[in-house]
Amino acid sequence: MLPRLLISALLFAFVAFAGAFPHIRILNEGDDACSKEKIERINQMILDAKNLASSANDTLYKPNVAKSSGFVALFGSNANPIDIANKHFAPFNMTPDVPKFVSSVQNLTAKDLTFTCPTYGAPKDTTARMSTRNWDDGDDGPDQRNNLIRIYPSSFEYVVPDSTGWHVVDTLSVPTAVRAVIAKTWFDEKAVPMGFTLVHEMQHADAFIGTKNHCIDVKYTNTEGKTVKAYGLQQAQRITAAPKVVNAQNYAWFAFLYRTVWVFPDK
């Protein structure tokens, strides 16, 4: 049986998103199509993201979570946990486990959200793992309008630290990432499971999260005086409270850490 609070969270999600929730699909033909292998990986990514979001929801509905050190570190002391759960994690409950396919990104509507797989050579192919395009982005003309989650080749391969330096793997499961976190062989944003990145990316996707809840990549000036995006766990915690709740990465860290190494209630 589901706990009562969780049921109310699910009901809220259903009421809030019924009629507005996008059609989520994977492009499987033409330019930027996802291959059969990549589609399998995308399906696993969606399951991982749904599990991460669901445990974030459970944590956020626990009494006094707003006073826990993990919550304060990532969202500040004035954030409302139920609000965060409903706006940023509950939409994952509505996401289909296995999306259907679409053969073209032309002539889609503002209610469609499509996963595409650009190859090497596409803009941002080496600088981002994924990027989100919203309906109103750019000025390429109405026929170019669409909502996309672009999954670049670097999402499908990882450089993982090991005792002799590093090695490349093509998948990184949540349990493997957790073992690395616990062993402290890896604890940053460079090698995160695709599901982690999807929790982040969906915070940028207006069709999914709602325009009002749109998150950005907050900039942070590091100790060397260099301005970087606050992706790392330390940076995510060091930015001030107001930017914390609009930084997409803080949602990904919260979901990942409470699923894995942080335990609630903490001190």
Site residues (CB under 5 A) for Zn ion? 217, 248
Helix axes 194-202, 36-60, angle to 10 degrees: 70
Per the CB < 8 A criterion, the answer to whether 213 and 87 are in contact is yes
Greatest Cα-to-Cα distance within the chain, rounded to the nearest angstrom? 53
Rg of the chain over CA atoms, in angstroms? 18
DSSP 3-state of 36: helix
Smallest distance, Zn ion to C-beta of residue 247, A: 9
Q: If you write DSSP's letter for every residue of 153-205 in order, what string do you get?
A: GGGG-EEEEETTEEEEES---HHHHHHHHHHTS--SSSS--HHHHHHHHHTT-
Smallest distance, Zn ion to C-beta of residue 186, A: 20
What residue is closest to Zn ion based on CB?
A: 217
Distances (CA, A) of 121 to 38, 54, 144, 154: 18, 35, 20, 12
Smallest distance, Zn ion to C-beta of residue 228, A: 13
**Whose Cβ is closer to Zn ion: residue 68's or residue 132's?**
132
Smallest distance, Zn ion to C-beta of residue 200, A: 6
**Whose Cβ is closer to Zn ion: residue 23's or residue 214's?**
214
Is the Cα dihedral 241, 190, 199, 109 positive or negative?
A: positive
**Whose Cβ is closer to Zn ion: residue 86's or residue 132's?**
132
**Whose Cβ is closer to Zn ion: residue 218's or residue 257's?**
218
> How far is residue 177's CA from residue 65's CA, in Å, rounded to a whole number?
25
**Whose Cβ is closer to Zn ion: residue 65's or residue 218's?**
218
